[in-house]
Amino acid sequence: MESAIPRPLQEERKIPVSTPAAYTPPFPAWTTRFSPLVEQVVMAYFGVQSTQTLGQLALVEITSRFSAAHGPSHWDLATYCDELGFVNDIVIAYWTSPESFSLWKTESQFDEWWHSADREQEDHGFFMEVVTPDIRGIETIFSNQYHPEGIAHLAQKMSDEMQEHGYWGSARDRLPIAQASRLEGQGGIRASSPLPARRIVQGSDNLCLIRSGQDWSDTLNEERSLYLEEVEPILNAGMRFLRDEGHTIGCLSCRYMHVLQRDDRLSLQKTFGLAHFTDLQALERWAKSHPTHVAIFDGFMRYVKALNFDIKLRLWHEISVIPAKSQYFEYINCHPHTGLLKKGE
């Protein structure tokens, strides 16, 4: 058993942990271990918004450039139908440094393509949501150490079983930056229009981004039925609440996405929720006490108890806390409910 925070990132705490005294986690979980050379990462969400299914083809203009020098270390493809019925096809790409991301944008001619006036004349919308958190502002958790997802593909390895999980407040205890800061959100979301078809959103300090995934590809028979018929509908309802009414509790946007295969674009047996919160505290409040998340938690506990805690479902998440200077959100011909446009003033 080891701490979720690696030794090189540990410091004298100014903010006490929430870990109960003499605590033993009720089940095993793991986190990612990055190279000491990785100090800041890039999480880039490139999207195409359309009323049809043309988005996946349009994304090829972006993904075909990933093989260029300084391309991403890993990328995923996913899709989501929003509250207005638009299909949002998204590529999630990860770089191990802002420098390599910047070089890729220039050398692959992505910047030239993105800023071309032609993008404003397309019959579909584009968006780019980029955050570059410091490694101290990232935490992850995995129920299975052999199946990396998301940013874990950039890690050197998984940890041993970790101590800080299975209790309320454990996500904050896993964040290195939270040893000395309460990570309170500051400032508001602001939007500007350099061109009529383009909207740029500036986020607020300590914006909190969570990508939280589910993989049921290894489940069989009773477990698969229990998950798809009893657990997933409750999860779906919680994601819809965050999408439609999340502004009442500090959630700025939420997409419940289905992961696709890269080659044939067929749907995999994987989903994830992608949500932006005003800060970590807003996410914590929803997770701990809001009826929609209490229902998710209770449904999951009934599920694991019915299977005597022997489950094949894999769960994971990555949480980032990001300063305003490390955020860039741009939307081209997208409807006003897209991403952080919904909250831009």
Active site residues: 317
In this structure, which amino acid lies at residue 112? E
CA 324 to chain CA mean position, Å: 17
In this structure, which amino acid lies at residue 155? A
- Long-range contacts at 231-237 (CB < 8 A, ≥ 24 apart): 231/299, 231/300, 231/303, 232/271, 234/295, 234/296, 234/299, 235/273, 235/296, 235/299, 237/292, 237/295
Spatial separation of the C-alpha atoms in residues 14 and 304, rounded to whole Å: 37
User: How many other C-beta atoms are found inside a 10 Å radius of the C-beta of residue 299?
Assistant: 19
125-131 vs 42-50, strand pairing mode: antiparallel
Q: Are 154 and 76 in contact (CB under 8 A)?
A: no
32-33 vs 157-158, strand pairing mode: antiparallel
